[in-house]
Amino acid sequence: MGATKAPVLSVQGLTVSVRAEGVERPLVEGLSFTLGRGETLAIAGESGSGKSITALAIMGLLPPPAVRASAGRVLLGDTDLLALPESRLRAIRGDRVAMIFQEPMTSLNPVMSIGAQLAEALRTHQPLSRGEARARALAALQSVRISQPERRLSQYPHELSGGMRQRVMIAMALALKPDVLIADEPTTALDVTVQREVLDLLRDLQRETGTAIILITHDMGVVAEMADRVVVMREGRVVEDGPVAQIFTAPQADYTRDLLAAVPRMGNGAPRPGDPALDAAAPVARLRDLAVRFDIHGGMLGRITHRVHAVEHVSFDIRRGETFALVGESGCGKSTIARALAGLVPHDGELEVAGQPLRGLNRAGRQAICRSVQMVFQDPMAALDPRMTVGDLVAEPLLIHGIGTPPERRARAADLFARVGLSADQLDRYPHEFSGGQRQRICIARALALNPGLIVCDESVSALDVSVQARVLDLLAALKREFGLSYLFISHDMAVVENIADRVAVMYLGQIVEMGSRAQIFGNPRHPYTRRLIAAVPVPDPAHVRSDPPRPSGEVPSPIHPVGTAPQRVKLLDIGAGHLVADDAA
């Protein structure tokens, strides 16, 4: 991926400003870099550092008139993109400079088929007939190795998984063989194995086409694996830039060192010798042969024809004071188990919380369960009512359960704010006035309001920058020690799990395939799927040579089965028990 001497793209002194209330202030200031053919330049930094604004400026997509490029040049060859009218920019976008956004679902038109969207992008820039455009669209899908490409042409975005949608976006971006591809957090929302496939795909396609890539990310593991050079940004300015090996082995800026130090690394989890007290503790939750299924209706009469077997044959305990992690890809059933524990979905099998079976509970029993189990979700902004102050949001569970007077609830909210590292002076603010990490702290404070025994953290740190993520994980660990909390920690990030979990269960297609202590799972993984998950984790070391296990081939099995049939029961490898169990057909 070596760069040629003549740059494909040259950014010179770029300044992007925003005007608010008559005052103009810079969002990006004095940014300069060059990009050569076949080169990958990573722009790294936390949220708000100016990474995405830089990408939008290059693409000519800044929202006018409030935000504008107020100084500098962006040269594509000899053409200054900042000086072009919109009509000429439209001809360049997608053709010579293309972009992949973080969330493909919001980038794809939900009412157009995948084939129609690909064909539209092609016909916008080239004089193709409908038949030629469809053939080129099919070839584009084949190039990104999506399964059943002919079928995908007629499907709509909601019918595809997140990984498939991102492959469609890559196919669309590369169909016209652009000179420059800007990938803005292209894998942040993806599972680790899907992320690995997407990164490998980008690398393969770059070798074939020679496209130069600007990779925008806060994942330093991805930077180490993909980049030739790195630009580190903070608050709109470059704090350091250089070859990737130099940035990782000899960073010059304190901010770069802090950013690298915050990256969760495999093998760096704090040592945890066996804890007899933990082993002997009574479980706060007990699952035995748990199953959750959803009916699918079809036909003229709307009869039940199929069932989604979201969870099957799941059994484990969560002990008091323990962090029990569920890991696996999207759709494996992790969040469904969380909803079952919170009493939000019907289930079969045995499920007890604080010694109380969840099935057949009356209203008072359900309220007691709500007090015992609280949840912290992935997106704190979506979990907080934007019309309420954060003080009222934290005190709301107390109000719902009729606990305390208004002054007492206010005092409890202030105390919880102090415990999660916020100030009581902030109680009267609204969610939008806080950063992402602060909003997640507010959600944790709200979860603590009723003194629960179990907190379910459902991908609660996956959307956070690495430094913010590290602070939230430290907070969770401190609160666990202070209150004796138990966590069900749901994540697809194996490096984070390795740093926080006591025990780990690995899920695949609704079933647990391997379970054991953290040391057993990460030190001696026995199941091929577990080994594949661990091998897919990006390593924040440019010198690391990754050896992949064999990639799975063929179609992923479906959890949907006709009524009257059930999936075969997979083998559960319980390392703690030291033998294979549950290998019979269901």
Q: What does the mean pLDDT of the chain come to? A: 85
- Inter-helix orientation angle 130-143/114-125, to 10°: 110
**Does 380 score more than 70 pLDDT?**
yes
Domains 7-261 and 286-367+453-581 share a fold: yes
Residue 391 has which token pair?
């003080």
What local confidence, expressed as pLDDT, does residue 57 receive?
94
For the ranges 91-105, 204-218, 313-327, 542-556, the one whose mean pLDDT is highest:
313-327
**Does 577 score more than 70 pLDDT?**
no
**How many CB atoms within 10 Å of residue 280?**
9
**Does 113 score more than 70 pLDDT?**
yes
Q: Is residue 428 a contact partner of residue 422, using CB atoms and an 8 Å limit?
A: no
**Does 562 score more than 80 pLDDT?**
no
What local confidence, expressed as pLDDT, does residue 276 receive?
52
Q: Which is more confidently placed, 132 or 333?
A: 132
What local confidence, expressed as pLDDT, does residue 84 receive?
93
When pLDDT is averaged across residues 166-193 and rounded to a whole number, the result is: 84
What local confidence, expressed as pLDDT, does residue 575 receive?
46
The band of 363, judged by pLDDT with boundaries at 50, 70 and 90, is confident
CATH 1.10.1740.10 assigned to domain 7-261? The reply is: no
Q: Is residue 214 a contact partner of residue 180, using CB atoms and an 8 Å limit?
A: yes
Separation of alpha carbons 64 and 370, rounded Å: 47
What local confidence, expressed as pLDDT, does residue 280 receive?
59
- 120-165 pLDDT, tens digit per residue, is 999 998 899 999 999 999 998 888 878 788 989 999 988 887 677 8
**Does 550 score more than 80 pLDDT?**
no
The band of 581, judged by pLDDT with boundaries at 50, 70 and 90, is very low
When pLDDT is averaged across residues 253-266 and rounded to a whole number, the result is: 87
Q: What is the fold of 286-367+453-581?
A: Rossmann fold (3.40.50)
Peptide bond into 149 cis (omega under 30): no
Q: Is residue 316 a contact partner of residue 341, using CB atoms and an 8 Å limit?
A: no
What local confidence, expressed as pLDDT, does residue 572 receive?
62
**Does 583 score more than 50 pLDDT?**
no
When pLDDT is averaged across residues 334-345 and rounded to a whole number, the result is: 88
When pLDDT is averaged across residues 14-36 and rounded to a whole number, the result is: 90
What local confidence, expressed as pLDDT, does residue 371 receive?
84
Q: Is residue 303 a contact partner of residue 315, using CB atoms and an 8 Å limit?
A: no
**How many CB atoms within 10 Å of residue 581?**
11
For residue 439, what are the CA distances in angstroms to 60, 122, 166, 374, 436?
Answer: 31, 42, 28, 16, 5
Residues 6+ positions from 153 with CB-CB distance below 8 Å:
113, 114, 115, 118, 134, 137, 138, 141
For residue 134, what are the CA distances in angstroms to 118, 131, 209, 475?
Answer: 8, 5, 21, 52
**Does 245 score more than 90 pLDDT?**
yes
When pLDDT is averaged across residues 2-30 and rounded to a whole number, the result is: 84
- 490-504 pLDDT, tens digit per residue, is 987 888 899 899 999
Q: Is residue 67 a contact partner of residue 24, using CB atoms and an 8 Å limit?
A: no
Q: Cα 303 from chain centroid?
A: 36
What local confidence, expressed as pLDDT, does residue 315 receive?
94
Strand extents, DSSP E, 88-196: 97-100, 180-184
- Inter-helix orientation angle 390-400/436-448, to 10°: 20
Percent of the chain topping pLDDT 90: 44
What local confidence, expressed as pLDDT, does residue 270 receive?
53
Residue 330 has which token pair?
């999207």
What local confidence, expressed as pLDDT, does residue 189 receive?
65
Global model pTM greater than 0.95: no
Residues 6+ positions from 556 with CB-CB distance below 8 Å:
none
154: exposed, middle or buried (C-beta count within 10 Å: 0-12, 13-18, 19+)? Answer: exposed
What local confidence, expressed as pLDDT, does residue 328 receive?
87
**β-bridge partners, 41:** 214, 229
The band of 268, judged by pLDDT with boundaries at 50, 70 and 90, is low
Residue with tokens 């019309």: 387
Separation of alpha carbons 115 and 112, rounded Å: 8
Q: Which is more confidently placed, 103 or 94?
A: 94
**Does 417 score more than 60 pLDDT?**
yes
When pLDDT is averaged across residues 263-275 and rounded to a whole number, the result is: 64
Separation of alpha carbons 66 and 110, rounded Å: 29
**How many CB atoms within 10 Å of residue 273?**
6
For the ranges 168-177, 328-337, 502-511, the one whose mean pLDDT is highest:
502-511
Q: Is residue 564 a contact partner of residue 293, using CB atoms and an 8 Å limit?
A: no
Q: Is residue 537 a contact partner of residue 192, using CB atoms and an 8 Å limit?
A: yes
Residue 412 has which token pair?
């409890």
Single-letter residue type at 416? L
**Does 576 score more than 50 pLDDT?**
no
What local confidence, expressed as pLDDT, does residue 343 receive?
82
The band of 21, judged by pLDDT with boundaries at 50, 70 and 90, is confident
Q: Cα 410 from chain centroid?
A: 34
- 473-483 pLDDT, tens digit per residue, is 888 999 999 88
b/e sequence 1-29, b meaning 16+ C-beta within 10 Å: bebeeebbbbbeebbbbbeeeeeeebbbb
Strand extents, DSSP E, 320-407: 323-327, 348-353, 356-357, 373-376
Phi, psi of 400, deg, nearest 5: -60, -40
Separation of alpha carbons 314 and 347, rounded Å: 11
For residue 437, what are the CA distances in angstroms to 352, 380, 464, 472, 491?
Answer: 32, 9, 7, 7, 17
**How many CB atoms within 10 Å of residue 474?**
12
When pLDDT is averaged across residues 65-83 and rounded to a whole number, the result is: 92
- 302-312 pLDDT, tens digit per residue, is 788 878 888 99
Residue 425 has which token pair?
């002076």
- Alpha helices, H only, 449-569: 466-483, 494-500, 518-523, 528-535
What local confidence, expressed as pLDDT, does residue 578 receive?
35
Lowest mean pLDDT among 93-102, 219-228, 299-308, 418-427: 299-308
What local confidence, expressed as pLDDT, does residue 120 receive?
92
**Beta-carbon-side half-sphere exposure of residue 307 (alpha carbons within 13 Å):** 14
**How do strand 67-76 and strand 40-44 relate by DSSP bridges?**
unpaired
Sequence spans of domains, the chain: 7-261, 286-367+453-581
The band of 277, judged by pLDDT with boundaries at 50, 70 and 90, is low
What local confidence, expressed as pLDDT, does residue 223 receive?
92
